[in-house]
Amino acid sequence: MKRQDYINWDTYFMGIAMLSAMRSKDPNTGVGACIVSSDNKILSLGYNGMPAGISDDEYPWEREGSFLDTKYPYVCHAELNALLNYTGSRLHGAKIYVTLFPCNECTKALIQSGIQEVIYGDDKYADNDSTRASKRMMDTVGIQYRKYQPAKKIIQLDL
């Protein structure tokens, strides 16, 4: 393999976040997250799914209907799962690669954990109040956020 065939760190870590998203059983929006230290070591991974011990097959994945018959009161977002999966003691200065811009609830957890940068793949809810609140909080505390800009096309893996 020639040196120019290698991928940069952003492509590598976003690729891992995308691969993690493939673990989600959400039929509409699978989201993945990869937390990385300042020296480019993977610290934790997560994807959106039900909490441990709750069957992905027995709880709803619907987006509409009665609140308790939708996924919203049950699903843990990828960012929160990545934070909860971390077994170390400090995330201060780390960055998170996430396939979808974080909601306001996950943003609060990212702030509390010490995450310093968010690299996101999609911002399809940019006009949503939750996303606006997320950006406002990140701006207030100085968390940098930027859209992932692929240096190379990430190919779909047929595994």
Q: How does pLDDT run across 19-72, given as a tens digit for each residue?
A: 999 999 999 999 999 999 999 999 999 999 999 999 989 999 999 999 999 999
Q: How far apart are CA 94 and CA 57, in angstroms?
A: 34
Q: How far apart are CA 116 and CA 155, in angstroms?
A: 29
Which candidate in 58, 62, 64, 79 is catalytic? Answer: 79
pLDDT in tens, 76-85: 999 999 999 9
- Interval 87-114 mean pLDDT: 96
Inform me whether the pLDDT recorded for 154 exceeds 70. no
DSSP 76: B
Q: Contact 111/103 with Cβ under 8 angstroms?
A: no
- pTM, two decimals, is 0.91
Task: Tell me whether residue 117 is one of the annotated catalytic residues.
Answer: no
Residue 15 has which token pair?
């690729």
Q: How far apart are CA 99 and CA 39, in angstroms?
A: 21
Residue 19: CB atoms within 10 Å: 17
